[in-house]
C-alpha cells in the first residue's frame, strides 16, 4: 500500500490540490516518521534517493562494489543524524553532503589511496541508443573514457564536476554539498571541464 | 558586451546560472559574435556527450537489507533504546497474559529443553546445569537494579536452584563462597536478577537448539539440496544476528532492546531447526 502511494507520487505531481497519498509520503513527512523510528518511512526515503547517491558515489570512486558499500554507509549515517536534519536544505542535498564525506574518508583509506585503483574502474555497460554496432562500440568506448578521465581529476574537482554535469545540481547546491565558496565551485568546474576535454580530445574531435 | 567579458560567462550561461539580465547580455553577444558562438557550441556538444553517459547502476535489494541490518544494530546499541528496563521487557516477554505468538513457541521449547535437560541429568545422577553455575564461571557479583521485584516470570524458575526469596529489595549480591581454594559462587537467597533471568533464558535456548540441531542433522540427508541450502542460509544469517546481538547484550547488559533482539534471534533459530527436524 505504502509502496503504491510512493510510486504514485510522480504521477500525481501535476494534479491540482492536495493529494492525501502525496501528503502522507512527502519527504518532510517521511523524515519525521523515520525520526520517530518508522523503518518503512526510511525505506521509502532510501528508494527515492538511493539511485542518485549511488550514481554520485560511482562517479567519485569509479568502482561499483565500493560505490555500493559507500551508499550503504551514507544511508546508515544519514539515519543516525536524521534528527539533526533541518528542512532549510533539500534532503537530497544533505544526503549528497554525507555521501561526499563518506567518499573522502574512503579516498584517504588504504584501499582508496591504492595508486592502481584508476585501472580498476568498472566499465559498467551503459545502454547506448545508437544506430549501428559501430556507434554502439564507440559509445561504450566513450563511456569508458569518461569514467577513466573522471578518475584522473583531483578529488575536489571530480566532486564538483560530477555534481554539476552528471547530477545536475545548481552551483548553490554544490556549495551546500561541498562547503566550497561559490567562486571555488566555478573555478573547479571550469578547470574540470578543461581537463576532461583534454582527456577526451581524440573522441571530441571526431564528434564535434 | 566584449568577447573577453562574454567568454568567462559562457559556462554559467549554459549552466543556467546567470540572472536574467546577464543571460540576456550573453545571448545577445553570442548572436553577433562567431568566435564566442563557436565556443558556446563546442561546450554544448560536450554537454550532450556527458548527458549520454548514464551508467547502468541498479539498486539491489541487498543494499537496503544491509542498511536495515545496520540500523537495527544501531537501535540495539543506542542509549535512547534503553529507556525501558530489562525487567519490564522480561515481564512483557514472559508474563502469560501478554504473551505473543513467538514467545509462546519459545516458551514451549524452553519447557521441552528444560525438561529434557533435567531428565537427562537426573538419570545420570548429575545436577542440571543452572544459570547460577554459569555465573560461577564468570565469578562476578551481579547487582540487582534498584527496583522492586514482585513476580517471577513464567517458565523461568522451573530449573533454578534459587529459592523464592523473602527479600524483594534492590542491591542483592551473590555471595562468593570459597572452599579449600576452589572458588564457588552461590547466589544469595532471593529472586533472581534480570541479568540472571536473561542468562537462564539464553541457556535454555542454547539447550533447545543443541537438541534440535541433533535432530535436524539426522534429517539433512533426506532433504533436497535446494531446500537445504535455503535453510542453511537462514541459519547462517540467524547465527550472525545472534553473534551480533550477544555482543550487544554483553556490552550493554541493561539494554532491554538488545536482550529482546537476542532472545528473538534465538527463537528464530529454534523455529528454523524445528522446520528442518519436522521434514
User: B168 near B191, Cβ under 8 Å?
Assistant: yes
What confidence score (pLDDT) does residue A155 get?
A: 92
Which triple of cell numbers denotes residue A151?
Answer: 578518475
% pLDDT > 70, chain A? 71
Residue of A203 and B189 predicted with greater confidence: A203
- How do residues A20-79 score in pLDDT, each as one tens digit? 444 467 888 888 888 888 888 999 999 999 999 999 999 999 989 999 999 999 999 999
User: B171 near B143, Cβ under 8 Å?
Assistant: yes
What confidence score (pLDDT) does residue A13 get?
A: 38
* Rg of chain B over all Cα atoms, to the nearest angstrom: 33
Which whole number is the average pLDDT over B11-38?
A: 91
Distance from CA of B35 to the nearest CA of A (A): 15
- How do residues B142-201 score in pLDDT, each as one tens digit? 333 333 333 333 333 333 333 333 333 333 333 333 334 334 444 444 566 667 777 777
Name the band, by pLDDT with cuts 50, 70 and 90, for residue B118: very low
CB-based contact, B173 to chain A, within 8 Å: no
Distance from CA of B153 to the nearest CA of A (A): 29
Q: SS3 helix, strand, coil % of chain A, rounded to 5?
A: 75, 0, 25
CA B225 to chain centre: 29
CB-based contact, A7 to chain B, within 8 Å: no
What is residue B127's DSSP assignment? P
Compute the mean pLDDT over every residue in chain A, rounded to the nearest whole number.
79
Name the band, by pLDDT with cuts 50, 70 and 90, for residue A181: very high
Nearest residue in chain A measured CA to CA from B53: A143
CB-based contact, A39 to chain B, within 8 Å: yes
Across-strand partners of B183? B178
Q: What part of B 27-86 touches A (C-beta under 8 Å)? A: 42-43, 45-47, 49-50, 52-57, 59-60, 63-64, 66-68, 70-71, 74-75
Best of A165, A188, A198 to substitute, by most chain B Cβ atoms within 10 angstroms, is A165
pLDDT above 50 for B85: no
For residue B38, the chain A residues in CB contact (below 8 A) are: none
Long-range contacts of A134-143 (CB under 8 A, 24+ apart): A138/A203, A139/B52, A141/A203, A142/A200, A142/A203, A142/B49, A142/B52, A142/B53, A143/B53, A143/B55
CB-based contact, A161 to chain B, within 8 Å: no
What confidence score (pLDDT) does residue B72 get?
A: 81
Name the band, by pLDDT with cuts 50, 70 and 90, for residue A157: very high
Q: Between chains, do B71 and A54 touch, taking CB under 8 Å as contact?
A: no
What confidence score (pLDDT) does residue A162 get?
A: 96
Across-strand partners of B177? B184
3-class secondary structure for B133-190?
Answer: HHHHHHCCCCCCCCCCCCCCCCCCCCCCCCCCCCCCCCCCCCEEEEECCEEEEECCCC
- How do residues B232-262 score in pLDDT, each as one tens digit? 778 888 888 888 778 777 777 777 777 777 8
Taking the C-alpha atoms of residue B82 and residue A132, their distance in angstroms, rounded to an integer, is 63
Name the band, by pLDDT with cuts 50, 70 and 90, for residue B227: confident
Model's pTM, two decimal places?
Answer: 0.53
Please report the ipTM that was assigned to this predicted complex: 0.75
- How do residues B189-210 score in pLDDT, each as one tens digit? 456 666 777 777 777 788 788 7
Residue of A113 and B132 predicted with greater confidence: A113
For residue A121, the chain B residues in CB contact (below 8 A) are: none
pLDDT above 90 for A97: yes
What is residue A15's DSSP assignment? S
A74 class by beta-carbon count within 10 Å (0-12 exposed, 13-18 middle, 19+ buried): buried
What confidence score (pLDDT) does residue B232 get?
A: 79
Which whole number is the average pLDDT over A121-150?
A: 65
User: A74 near A95, Cβ under 8 Å?
Assistant: yes
Using the Cα atoms of residue B208, residue B91, residue B247 and residue B241 in order, give the sign of their dihedral: positive
User: B9 near B26, Cβ under 8 Å?
Assistant: yes
What confidence score (pLDDT) does residue A180 get?
A: 94
What confidence score (pLDDT) does residue A67 get?
A: 94
Taking the C-alpha atoms of residue B116 and residue B111, their distance in angstroms, rounded to an integer, is 8
What confidence score (pLDDT) does residue B218 get?
A: 75
CB-based contact, A191 to chain B, within 8 Å: no
Compute the mean pLDDT over every residue in chain B, rounded to the nearest whole number.
66
What confidence score (pLDDT) does residue A134 get?
A: 56
Amino acid at each position: 500500500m505504502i509502496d503504491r502511494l510512493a510510486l504514485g507520487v510522480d504521477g500525481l505531481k501535476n494534479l491540482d490540490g492536495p493529494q492525501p497519498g502525496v501528503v502522507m509520503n512527502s519527504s518532510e513527512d517521511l523524515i519525521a516518521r523515520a525520526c520517530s523510528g518508522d523503518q518503512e518511512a526510511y525505506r521509502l526515503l532510501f528508494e527515492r534517493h538511493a539511485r542518485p547517491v549511488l550514481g554520485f558515489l560511482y562517479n567519485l570512486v569509479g568502482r561499483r562494489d565500493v560505490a555500493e558499500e559507500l551508499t550503504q554507509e551514507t544511508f546508515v549515517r544519514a539515519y543516525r543524524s536524521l534528527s539533526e536534519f533541518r528542512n532549510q536544505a533539500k534532503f537530497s542535498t544533505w544526503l549528497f553532503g554525507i555521501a561526499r564525506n563518506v567518499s573522502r574518508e574512503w579516498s584517504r583509506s588504504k584501499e582508496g589511496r591504492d595508486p592502481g585503483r584508476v585501472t580498476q574502474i568498472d566499465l559498467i555497460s551503459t545502454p547506448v541508443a545508437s544506430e549501428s554496432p559501430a556507434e554502439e562500440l564507440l559509445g561504450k568506448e566513450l563511456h569508458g573514457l569518461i569514467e577513466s578521465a573522471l578518475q584522473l581529476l583531483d578529488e575536489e574537482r571530480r566532486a564538483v564536476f560530477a555534481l554539476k554535469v552528471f547530477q545536475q545540481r545548481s552551483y548553490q547546491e554544490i556549495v551546500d554539498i561541498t562547503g566550497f565558496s561559490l567562486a571555488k565551485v566555478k573555478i573547479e568546474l571550469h578547470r574540470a571541464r578543461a581537463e576532461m576535454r583534454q582527456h577526451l580530445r581524440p573522441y571530441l574531435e571526431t564528434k564535434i | 558586451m566584449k568577447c573577453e567579458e562574454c567568454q568567462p560567462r559562457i559556462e554559467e550561461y549554459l549552466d543556467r546560472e546567470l540572472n536574467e539580465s546577464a543571460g540576456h547580455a550573453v545571448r545577445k553577444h553570442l548572436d553577433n559574435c562567431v568566435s564566442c558562438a563557436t565556443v558556446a557550441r563546442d561546450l554544448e556538444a560536450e554537454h550532450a556527450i556527458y548527458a549520454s553517459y548514464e551508467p547502468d547502476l541498479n539498486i539491489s535489494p541487498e543494499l537496503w537489507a544491509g542498511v536495515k541490518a545496520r540500523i537495527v544494530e544501531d537501535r540495539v546499541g543506542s542509549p535512547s533504546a534503553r529507556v525501558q528496563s530489562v525487567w519490564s521487557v522480561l515481564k512483557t516477554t514472559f508474563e502469560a497474559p501478554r504473551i505473543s505468538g513467538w514467545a509462546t513457541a519459545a516458551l514451549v521449547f524452553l519447557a521441552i529443553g528444560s525438561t529434557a535437560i533435567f531428565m537427562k541429568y537426573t538419570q545420570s545422577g548429575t545436577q542440571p546445569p543452572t544459570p547460577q553455575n554459569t555465573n560461577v564461571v564468570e565469578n562476578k557479583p551481579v547487582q540487582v537494579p534498584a527496583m522492586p521485584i514482585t513476580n517471577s516470570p513464567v517458565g523461568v524458575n522451573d530449573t533454578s536452584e534459587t529459592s523464592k526469596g523473602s527479600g524483594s529489595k534492590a542491591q542483592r549480591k551473590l555471595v562468593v563462597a570459597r572452599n579449600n581454594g576452589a572458588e564457588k559462587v552461590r547466589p544469595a537467597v532471593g529472586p533472581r536478577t534480570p541479568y540472571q533471568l536473561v542468562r537462564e533464558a539464553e541457556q535454555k535456548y542454547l539447550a533447545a537448539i543443541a537438541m534440535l540441531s541433533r535432530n535436524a542433522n539426522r534429517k539433512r540427508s533426506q532433504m533436497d539440496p535446494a531446500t537445504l541450502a535455503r535453510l542453511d542460509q537462514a541459519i547462517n544469517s540467524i547465527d550472525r544476528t545472534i553473534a551480533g546481538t550477544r555482543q550487544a547484550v554483553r556490552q550493554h547488559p541493561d539494554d532491554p532492546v538488545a536482550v529482546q533482539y537476542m532472545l528473538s534471534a534465538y527463537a528464530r533459530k529454534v523455529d528454523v531447526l524445528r522446520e528442518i527436524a519436522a521434514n
